[in-house]
Amino acid sequence: MSQSKKNEATTNKLWGGRFAEPTDAFVQRFTASEAFDRRLASQDIRGSIAHAQMLCAQNILSPADLAEIEMGLSQISDEIAQDNFDWRVDREDVHMNIEARLTEIIGDTGKKLHTGRSRNDQVATDIRLWLRESIDAVTLQLTRLQRGIVELAAAHAATIMPGFTHLQVAQPITFGHHLLAWYEMLDRDFGRLQDCRVRLNQSPLGAAALAGTTFPIDRMMTAETLGFDGPTRNSLDSVSDRDFAIEFTAAAALITTHLSRMSEELVLWTSAQFAFINIPDRFCTGSSIMPQKKNPDVPELVRGKTGRINGHLMALLTLMKSQPLAYNKDNQEDKEPLFDTVQTLHDCLRAFADMVPALVPNQENMRNAALEGFATATDLADYLVRRGVAFRDAHEVVGNAVAHCVAESCRLEDLPLTLLRSFYHDIDADVFEVLTLEGSVAARDHIGGTSPVQVAAAAATALKLLSSR
C-alpha cells in the first residue's frame, strides 16, 4: 500500500478512549483476528451468558439487565448460525464483534457485560471450551477407528502372515495380532487425550486482565455453569497458560505419527511386491497418464499430514518460549495452528475409521510370504532347547541348517529327518509339527502372544473396553 494512502481506519469504540488518532488501516488488519477466531463464537457467547448470570446472582447486574443481555446474545447466536452476522475487521476479534453487536441490539445495557472481565480471561475460557469439545469429537473418531481395527483383528485371529523386524521376515504372526498392535498405539493416544482434557478443564474466567477483579465475583458458579471442574488457582497463570494447546498438539502429533506408521504398512502391503491387502476403489485414486494405476492415496496423504501437525507443535512451543507473564498479544497466534491441528487430525482419523473396516486381506499371499525367509527357525531352536540343548548352542545348530537350506534353495521343513539329524542327533518326526506356520503361532500362547487363542481373547477384551466408553 502506498505511503500516501489515507489512513481509512477508525478508532476502536471499545478501547479508543485514550487514543489521539485512529489505528493505521494496515495495522488494524494486521492485528485483527476476527477472520479466524470467529470460530470461537458459540463458546464466547456461552461464556458471556455464564458471566452475566453470575454478575446478576452477585447483584452486580439487575435481573432486567441480565434478561436483555441474554436476549441480545441469543439473537447474535441466531445471526451467526444463519450466516447473517456482519463480521467487522475494525472490531478486531470475535469478542469485540459480539460485544459491539450486543450494544447495537440492546443499547447501553450491552456495555455492562464486560464488568469484571477482560478479553484475556475471556479468550482463555473460549479456547478451553472449544478444545474440550474438539477433544470429544476427535476421541469419537479415534474410538471408531479402534473398533474397526479390533473387529478386523477378531475376524483374522488365525490368519497367518509374516512378522517383520528390519522389514525382513522374522517369525510367523497372525494378521489379527498385527492389527491389535495398531490398536494398542491408539489406546495410549486415547489416554493422552483424556489426560489433556482433565488438565484443561479448569475455568480461567474471573482472572480478568491478569490480577483478578475488584467485584465480588463467584468463580465457582461460572466454572460450574460452563462444565469446568473448578476455577484455576492463579490469575496470572490463567491468562497466560497455553499448555493445554501444546499438550493437545503433542498428543495429535503422536496420533498422526502412529497413523503414518500404519499408512506406511498399508502402502507397502498394497504394492504388487507384497499384495497382502486390497484397499477398495472408493478409497483410492488413479493416475492421469498411467491407465493401470490405483494409488493408495488415503494412507499416503495421512502419512504426509503428519509433517503438518509436527509443524504446528513446533509453532506453539516456539510461541510460548520465553514469554513473560502474563498475557501477551503473541498468544493470538495460538489459534490457527490449534484449529488446523484439530481439523487435520479429525479428518485423518475419520478417513482411517472409514477405510480400515473395508480392507480386504489376501490370505493366500500373506501365508505364502510367511513360508519364505525361514520364519520358523526360532521354533526349531526352541525345540532343541526342550531336548536339553542350551539356547545359544541351539541357535548355532539351526544357523547351520539354515545355511544348508540357503545353499540348496529349500526350506527347513523340506529337509528329511536323517539330514536334520546330521545337524543334531536328537531330533524326531514331531519336529515337523513345530516347523509349520500354524504350529509356530499356536505355540506362542501367553498374554500378548500371537496364538489365535490369545489374539481372539485380546480382541474380545478390547471390544468390551471400547463399548464401555
441 DSSP assignment: H
Query: How far is it, in rounded angstroms, from Cα 182 to Cα 152?
Result: 12
Catalytic annotation, pick one of 62, 74, 271, 287: 287
Q: Residue 37, interface with ligand ARG (CB under 6 A)?
A: yes
Which range touches ligand ARG (CB under 6 A), out of 61-69, 279-287, 324-332, 336-344?
A: 324-332
Enclosing H/E stretch for 360: strand 360-361
- Report DSSP letters for 219-256, one per residue: HHHHHHHTT-SSB-S-HHHHHH--HHHHHHHHHHHHHH
Q: What is the dihedral of CA 89, 91, 92, 96, to 10 degrees?
A: -140
CB atoms within 10 A of CB 126: 27
Query: How far is it, in rounded angstroms, from Cα 214 to Cα 51?
Result: 15
**Of 327-386, which residues contact ligand ARG (CB under 6 A)?**
329, 331-332
Distances (CA, A) of 182 to 1, 153, 170, 458: 53, 10, 19, 13
Catalytic annotation, pick one of 166, 446, 467, 468: 166
**Of 60-99, which residues contact ligand ARG (CB under 6 A)?**
93
160 DSSP assignment: E
Q: Which is nearer to ligand ARG, 277 or 342 (CB)?
A: 342
In this structure, are residues 397 and 424 in contact, taking their beta carbons and an 8 Å threshold? yes
22 DSSP assignment: P
Total residues at interface with ligand ARG (CB under 6 A): 9
Min. distance of Cβ 211 from ligand ARG in angstroms?
Answer: 13
From candidates 23, 28, 33, 146, binder to ligand ARG by CB under 6 A: 33
**Of 190-249, which residues contact ligand ARG (CB under 6 A)?**
none
Min. distance of Cβ 207 from ligand ARG in angstroms?
Answer: 12
Min. distance of Cβ 328 from ligand ARG in angstroms?
Answer: 9
Min. distance of Cβ 37 from ligand ARG in angstroms?
Answer: 6
Q: Which is nearer to ligand ARG, 178 or 312 (CB)?
A: 312
Checking 103-110 for CB contacts under 8 A at 24+ apart, the result is 105/72, 105/75, 105/76, 106/68, 106/69, 106/71, 106/72, 109/65, 109/68, 109/69, 110/68, 110/69, 110/72
Q: Which is nearer to ligand ARG, 90 or 93 (CB)?
A: 93
Q: Which is nearer to ligand ARG, 120 or 143 (CB)?
A: 120
Q: Which is nearer to ligand ARG, 336 or 382 (CB)?
A: 336
Q: Which is nearer to ligand ARG, 143 or 331 (CB)?
A: 331
Active site residue 74: no
Min. distance of Cβ 93 from ligand ARG in angstroms?
Answer: 4
Active site residue 451: no
> Helical H runs in 115-242?
119-155, 175-200, 219-225, 235-240
Query: How far is it, in rounded angstroms, from Cα 348 to Cα 337?
Result: 16
Phi, psi of 305 (to 5 degrees): -65, -20
Min. distance of Cβ 322 from ligand ARG in angstroms?
Answer: 18
**Of 105-124, which residues contact ligand ARG (CB under 6 A)?**
119-120, 123
Min. distance of Cβ 130 from ligand ARG in angstroms?
Answer: 12
x/- track of binding to ligand ARG for residues 123-152 (CB under 6 A): x-----------------------------
Q: Which three cell numbers stand for residue 237?
A: 497463570
Residues designated catalytic = 166, 287
Binding site for ligand ARG (CB under 6 A): 33, 37, 93, 119-120, 123, 329, 331-332
